[in-house]
Amino acid sequence: MSESRMPLTSEEQITLKKAAYGAVTLVSLAYPGAWSSTKENVVGAKVLTGATGAVGRILSGKDKFRLDGKNTADIADEVLPALTATVAALQIKSPAETEEFRRAVTTAVRQAAASTKGGASPAQTDMIAKITAALAI
């Protein structure tokens, strides 16, 4: 497991990573097109790997995660609760890192959506609102 200097368990660290990268995936899936999805994922991933502190170390680590959903709804059912669970764990175990996690995810999904031709689509805007709500506990 990554050297996080944070009292999150290995499972919680994987959930953090799945939540963050999964949020970017949800935004990319909300705008159809293979080229667009790839570009959005790259833009979002760059933001996430630029996060600082323990959250940044976890997001930049080599730990693997997997999204099991077969479609956008299934992935949302997996990622949105993971976002909420990560915020809850951070608030209890490392309150100082909570805002860094929220900032990294919010910035990543907004920049990913903005990278699409013509800017964020209505579906992406709706997905970002769901992501933001999941982070707001």
Query: Which residues are within 8 A (CB) of 29 and not within 5 positions of it... i.e. 6 or more apart?
Result: 37, 72, 75
pLDDT tens-digit map of 7-29:
899 999 999 999 999 999 999 99
Q: How many residues does the structure list for the chain? A: 137
Given a contact cutoff of 8 angstroms between Cβ atoms, the answer to whether 87 and 137 are in contact is yes
The answer as to whether 110 is a domain residue is yes
96: domain range? 10-135
Position 97 pLDDT exceeds 90: yes
What percent of the chain is helix, strand and coil (3-state, nearest 5)? 75, 0, 25
The answer as to whether 83 is a domain residue is yes
Position 2 pLDDT exceeds 50: no
Position 34 pLDDT exceeds 70: no
The answer as to whether 2 is a domain residue is no
Total domain count for the chain?
Answer: 1
The answer as to whether 126 is a domain residue is yes
- CA–CA distance, 42 with 44 (Å, rounded to integer): 5
The answer as to whether 76 is a domain residue is yes
What's the pLDDT score for residue 36?
62
What's the pLDDT score for residue 4?
42
The answer as to whether 5 is a domain residue is no
The answer as to whether 82 is a domain residue is yes
Per-chain mean pLDDT for the chain: 91
The answer as to whether 1 is a domain residue is no
Of 38-42, 95-99, 111-115, 124-128, the one with minimum mean pLDDT is: 38-42
What's the pLDDT score for residue 1?
42
Q: Average pLDDT of 46-54?
A: 94
